[in-house]
Amino acid sequence: MKLIEVKDKSSRKAFLEFPVKLYKQERNWIRPLDKDIESVFDPKQNKYFRHGDAIRWVLEDESGEIVGRVAAFVDRKTMKKGVKAGGMGFFECIDDEKAAHILFDACRQWLEKHDAEGMDGPINFGDRDRWWGLLVDGYTEPNYCMPYHFPYYQQLFENAGFQLYFKQYTYARRTKEGGLLEKVQDKADRISRNPAYSFKHIEKKHLERYGEDFRTIYNKAWVKHAGVGGMSKVQAMSTMNKLRPVLDEKIVWFAYFNDEPVGFFINLPELNQIFKHLNGKFDLWAKLKFLYHKWTGSCRKMFGVAFGIVPEHQGKGLEGALVVASTSYVWSKESPYEDFEMNWIGDFNPKMMRVAEDVGGRIFKTHHTYRKLFDPTKPFARAPIIE
């Protein structure tokens, strides 16, 4: 077999199109947009190149057929903390251990040259909300920028010495079936009766203000997570502006205490319900098809992108009250949304798992993030629990 580094038009095309061939009989697979994959490996678009590097390969068999692909990357910021682990991802392979081991070994050798002591995978060269984890349960249509895999991938990883670092749970529920647990509803009602608290859905005309509120809450609630840094004003507005074209104002909610932002519940229409009609392209014709499906309301699923409560207001019932506020629209006849899935929650975050369960969520999909230490004599540890 022959390993080919991706660095020209032909090999980039092979990297993008190999999964199309691999999953052609798999009805639940949705082809990602080519531009979303390519943006990960473009230093002009991916800020992680400022403190990291990436490489990718495709694998040919003896007949010249592509039988696998993979990428490896280093982030020098995260490698300064704890185990110096690099990353590998975008793994796709036929059901062949020899082919898989060639791809894994290419990643290991490249990462060792970049001073890594191990590798996490399959992960993204970027933020955790995209391309993160190996699907091991819940083989249904993937959400936007989340991976879908064949069941045999799990054995390929574990036979190659990867160990479970953490599990990722995607919770789901029917939007309009069943309410909240009684204890959650009672707490939410108490919060709602307190005049110091208020709840608002966003308005696009005031997006800059909501961007700053998002940043304030995020920096208080999320930076304690391992590998998560603070967010700047520029980053917050960049995030909001990227979301602007697809925002549904009535499903993005903020909570305030004495007019200070203390919580957010950010949802979007689940874009893969539209992108599955575009075959990975986003040219002019694809954009017209996108607009058609958006205007005709073909998207019946909403996706929970982020949920955050500042620490001093956690555990008081604000979590439930924020969800209840959003149901004023989501449970109405006006809302087109029938299903709701949440962004994944790591098993290292039991508090957030309880919140998802309290609002009626059930585990619908499970992904694994693995870690492989290059020195097998070194002790392995699971991801630390967030207290």
| Domain match, 32 and 80 both | yes
Work out whether strand 339-342 and strand 301-309 pair parallel, antiparallel, or are unpaired: parallel
Distance CA 364, CA 373 (A): 30
Residue 385 lies in a domain: no
In sequence order, the β-bridge partners of residue 168 are: 346, 367
Distance CA 250, CA 167 (A): 31
| Domain match, 197 and 120 both | no
| Domain match, 188 and 306 both | yes
Q: What percent of the chain has pLDDT over 90?
A: 67
| Domain match, 214 and 73 both | no
Per residue in 158-185, pLDDT (tens digit) is 999 999 999 999 999 998 876 677 777 8
| Domain match, 27 and 158 both | yes
| Domain match, 164 and 270 both | no
Residue 53 lies in a domain: yes
Peptide bond into 376 cis (omega under 30): no
Q: Which pLDDT belongs to residue 285?
A: 65
Q: In this structure, are residues 75 and 51 in contact, taking their beta carbons and an 8 Å threshold?
A: yes
| Domain match, 248 and 331 both | yes
Q: What percent of the chain has pLDDT over 70?
A: 92
Residue 181 lies in a domain: yes
| Domain match, 209 and 152 both | no
Domain that holds residue 228: 176-337
Residue 103 lies in a domain: yes
| Domain match, 137 and 237 both | no
- Residue 153 predicted with pLDDT over 90: yes
Residue 129 lies in a domain: yes
Q: How many domains does the chain have?
A: 2
| Domain match, 33 and 164 both | yes
Per residue in 71-91, pLDDT (tens digit) is 999 999 888 777 899 999 999
Residue 12 lies in a domain: yes
| Domain match, 148 and 274 both | no
Tokens 């575009």 belong to 278
DSSP annotation of 281 = -
- Residue 20 predicted with pLDDT over 80: yes
| Domain match, 201 and 161 both | no
Distance CA 161, CA 103 (A): 13
Residue 251's φ and ψ, nearest 5 degrees, are: -120, 15
Q: Coil, strand, or helix at residue 117?
A: coil
Mean pLDDT of 145-157: 97
Mean pLDDT of 144-169: 97
- Residue 11 predicted with pLDDT over 70: yes
Residue 354 lies in a domain: no
The enclosing domain of 70 has a CATH number of: 3.40.630.30
Residue 322 lies in a domain: yes
Distance CA 58, CA 2 (A): 8
Structure-token pair, residue 365: 């999909």
Helix H or strand E encompassing 295: helix 284-295
pTM: 0.87
Per residue in 266-294, pLDDT (tens digit) is 999 998 888 877 776 776 666 766 665 66
